[in-house]
Amino acid sequence: MSRKQAAKARPAARKGRRPRHSPAAPAPGPAPGNGGGLARQLRALGLKLREVPGDGNCLFRALGDQLEGHSRNHLRHRQETVEFMVRQRGDFEPFVEDDVPFDKHVANLAKPGTFAGNDAIVAFARNNQMNVVIHQLNAPLWQIRGTDRSDARELHIAYRYGEHYDSVRRISDDSEAPACLRMEMLCKNNSNKAEEVKPQKGSSEDETEVEVEDAVQKVCNATGCSDMDLVSHILEEEDYNVESAIFAILQMKEVEGIGTEEQEEPLGREQKSCSKTLWEENGTGSRIFGNQSLHQGEAENTKGRAGSKEENRASRNSKVAKKQKKKQQWLEKKKQQEERHRQKVLASKKDSADSRTDTEPANHVTLVKAMAALNI
């Protein structure tokens, strides 16, 4: 083929045939090359056009930009779409123009630069299990449903001048990342839906209150503590960990028990009186053993009392030291638990922040508000 013949063939291949089931042509607007009308319409929704070359591959370029962040794989998307149509021939053959056999139609569609229409969009959507939303000037949105899944991804493209597709992006999105747009239908029933959610919120609060009461009862049964306010406070301090709360209360009871142990009492009042009477000047001890024995007895008694006091003091000091040691151990244990809990919370927050940082660019979804949409 000569250069002259090749030059004539190229425009024909680029233009191709437009299927009769393409989206409705836009209302009269700016001349080609100036997408002012549709651009203003998208800008009101916080969106913009990302234009792709008008080389006959514009549909697959626009879909590729939505799916991958660029349009360089348009030939692969075209080939996969055609292969899906061939496999599902029964679904697509009835919609091909009567004067064009299906085999010839898909053979032409497989060639680079051949215009593709609605049948290719439907095949692409079903093959990739996604929904494709088409924006047009002064017209409702068209939604080509490739799946019935509620969480299906949406690809948003614009159809202009009755022959060209562009990608639709968030107005501030100049990246080469996949687009994440989702249609949000506006309706008058939104307020009713909000009211229906309120009782569910109340029921969840009731369930939480029952769970707290159950935890308090478990701690009371395990520790024998009847002070509900104290148990509730300890549970709150221990982040509602029942085992930690039980341990804390048992530690507190052990410390308090040491301080309330019975201590040896000094000589009783009757014993003091009896001892004094026995060794008075005319007492029985004085008459039998004399004053010398009295003084000796008093000295021994004083010595015994002094020794008893020393023993009691040492015993008390030992118990106080033991009590302080137990209290210190409990405080250190509680401090360690609080530190572990703090570290766990910090780690959880850090993981959550890292997860948001890693996934935000890919999963940040911009809602596209729409009053009406036509489903295909």
Domain-embedded: residue 226: no
Question: H or E element: which one contains 130?
Answer: none
H/E stretch holding 224: none
- What tokens were used for 278? 């026995």
CATH of the domain at 97: 3.90.70.80
Beta strand 154-160 pairing with 164-170: antiparallel
Residue 70 falls within a domain, yes or no?
Answer: yes
Instruction: Give the burial class of 123: count Cβ atoms within 10 A of its Cβ; 0-12 exposed, 13-18 middle, 19 or more buried.
Output: buried
Q: Is residue 233 part of a domain?
A: no
DSSP 3-state assignment of 291? helix
Domain for residue 263, yes or no?
no
80-110 pLDDT, tens digit per residue, is: 999 999 999 999 999 888 789 999 999 999 9
Alpha-carbon gap, residue 14 to 114, rounded angstroms: 6
Residue with tokens 């009731």: 206
**Per-residue confidence (pLDDT) for residue 308, from 0 to 100:** 65
Structurally, how many domains does the chain consist of? 1
Please give the DSSP secondary-structure letter assigned to residue 282. T
Three-state SS for 160-219 is ECCCEEEEEEECCCCCCCCCCEEEEECCCCHHHHHHHHHHHHHHHHHHHHHHHHHHHHHH
Residue 240's SS3 state is coil
Query: What is the model's pLDDT at position 375?
Result: 77
The dihedral built from the CA positions of residue 8, 10, 12 and 15, taken in this order, carries a sign that is negative
Q: What is the mean pLDDT of residues 124-150?
A: 94
Q: In this predicted model, what pLDDT tens digit does every residue of 215-265 receive, in sequence order?
A: 888 888 888 888 888 888 888 877 788 777 887 777 777 666 655 554 444
In tens, the pLDDT along 146-158 reads 999 989 999 999 9
User: Could you give the residue ranges of the DSSP H alpha helices within the chain?
Assistant: 3-15, 36-43, 58-68, 74-87, 89-92, 102-109, 118-128, 190-223, 228-237, 242-259, 269-278, 284-363
Q: Reply yes or no on whether 341 is catalytic.
A: no
The sign of the dihedral angle between the CA atoms of 350, 352, 354, 356 is negative
How far is Cα 254 from Cα 247, in angstroms, rounded to an integer? 11
Read off the pLDDT of residues 62-75 as tens digits, 9 standing for 90 and up: 999 999 999 999 99
Residue 60 lies in a domain: yes
Contacts (Cβ under 8 Å, ≥6 apart) of 296? none
Neighbours of 225 (CB within 10 A): 19
Which residue carries 């939480």 as its tokens? 208
Q: Is position 100 within any domain?
A: yes
Q: Is residue 172 part of a domain?
A: yes
Mean pLDDT to the nearest integer, 343-349: 70
- Position 309 in a domain: no
Separation of alpha carbons 105 and 89, rounded Å: 12
Among candidate residues 168, 68, 169, the one with its CA nearest the CA of residue 128: 68
Q: How much is the pLDDT for 166?
A: 97
Report yes or no on whether pTM surpasses 0.85. Answer: no
Q: What is the dihedral of CA 293, 294, 299, 304, to 10 degrees?
A: 100
Query: Does position 356 have pLDDT exceeding 50, yes or no?
Result: no
pLDDT of residue 31: 42
Is 274 a catalytic site residue? no
Kindly indicate the confidence band of residue 359, based on its pLDDT and cuts at 50, 70 and 90: very low
Per the annotation, the verdict on 164 as an active-site residue is yes
pLDDT in tens, 259-306: 555 444 444 444 444 445 544 555 545 544 455 544 555 556 655 665
332 three-class SS: helix
**Of these residues, 74, 135, 156, 164, which one is catalytic?**
164
Which range marks the domain in which residue 69 is found?
A: 9-185
Alpha carbon distances (Å) from 307 to 262, 304, 311: 20, 5, 6
